Amino acid sequence: MDLPAGLWHLGAVLTRLLDAVVFSSLWLAAAAAVLVAASSRALGAPVDPASAALAACGTLVVYNVDRLRDIRRDHVTAPERTRFVQTHRRALVALTVLAGVGSAALAARLGRGAALLLAVVLAVGLLHRRLKRAAFIKPLYVTAAWLAVVVGLPWYTAPQPLHTGWVLASLGCALLANAIASNLRDEAGAARIGRVRALRVARGASLVGSVAALSGPPEVRALSAVPLATLAVLLPFHPSERFGLVALDGALLAGALLALAL
């Protein structure tokens, strides 16, 4: 049975809207901001809007700079996103510049430590074009960079951060699982590591992160939603571009939102 023309039009509009949010890195920026908020709660600290905003702006800068610089290689691993970047290049440049200005202003407001942390992550992001060719180390430095932002920022702004190790273990495992699975969309990386083996490691990491959070102090247990959401997406994993960009990265956002709601 054919759908009415109005529903087809609505579906097309929603698909274009989702593409814009995902391919512009706003999807990842939202995940970073909410992860900062969830980390703050787990660290026993109030949620700092400036830290969450800095995480979002910094994510936009790092990821969009990489998308704009490495179009030739990304055309192989993420052709739909690359077409979006090429079509909307001016808008993405403007968004990245605005995010960069916002990052600088927010880092200055938060202090020298936040500015130094942002500078280190930005340096890693600028080197990502070369570093990401090494399939074995890519998930490790990507995980470390994300932890520096989503745990480092709230740790820096918290008056007396608690349970830091538990938070790092829970979110670190979830982020590592995400990074490993995201790397499987790169055929060269999958050939070097072995897709089945890497997927098992990613699932295992998300399971370990879930157990770590649930075994931790009461404030940390809600964070189990992040590795559990990642595990739920990894079970029916499919190495397609949209699955990786929408579902896999979306699991971080959904898990962090659920952690805040618990």
Place of tokens 């939603």: 225
pLDDT at position 175: 98
pLDDT at position 208: 98
Q: Is position 203 within any domain?
A: yes
Helix (H, G, I), strand (E, B) or coil at 133: coil
Q: If we measure between CA atoms, which residue out of 185, 167, 168, 144 comes closest to residue 222?
A: 167
Q: Is position 32 within any domain?
A: yes
Residue 52: give the domain boundaries. Answer: 12-261
CB 25 within 8 A of CB 59: yes
Q: Is position 153 within any domain?
A: yes
pLDDT at position 246: 92
DSSP class per residue in 22-79: HHTTHHHHHHHHHHHHHHHHHTT----HHHHHHHHHHHHHHHHHHHHH-HHHHHHH-H
Q: Is position 71 within any domain?
A: yes
- Give residue-wise pLDDT tens across range 53-69: 999 999 999 999 988 98
pLDDT at position 93: 96
pLDDT at position 186: 60
pLDDT digits (tens), the chain, 262 positions: 455 666 665 666 788 898 899 999 999 999 999 999 999 999 999 999 999 999 999 999 999 998 898 787 777 778 899 999 999 999 999 999 999 999 999 999 998 888 888 888 888 877 766 666 666 688 888 999 999 999 999 999 999 999 999 999 999 999 999 999 988 866 555 545 677 888 999 999 999 999 999 999 999 999 999 999 999 999 998 878 888 889 999 999 999 999 999 8
pLDDT at position 183: 83
Q: Is position 3 within any domain?
A: no
Counting beta carbons within 10 angstroms of the beta carbon of residue 261, is it exposed (0 to 12), middle (13 to 18) or buried (19 or more)? exposed
pLDDT at position 1: 46
Place of tokens 């470390």: 144
Q: Is position 121 within any domain?
A: yes
Counting beta carbons within 10 angstroms of the beta carbon of residue 44, is it exposed (0 to 12), middle (13 to 18) or buried (19 or more)? middle
Domain count along the chain: 1
Counting beta carbons within 10 angstroms of the beta carbon of residue 47, is it exposed (0 to 12), middle (13 to 18) or buried (19 or more)? middle
- The Cα–Cα gap between 218 and 79 comes to 43
pLDDT at position 77: 78
Q: Is position 4 within any domain?
A: no
pLDDT at position 9: 58
Q: Is position 7 within any domain?
A: no
C-alpha Rg value of the chain to the nearest Å: 18
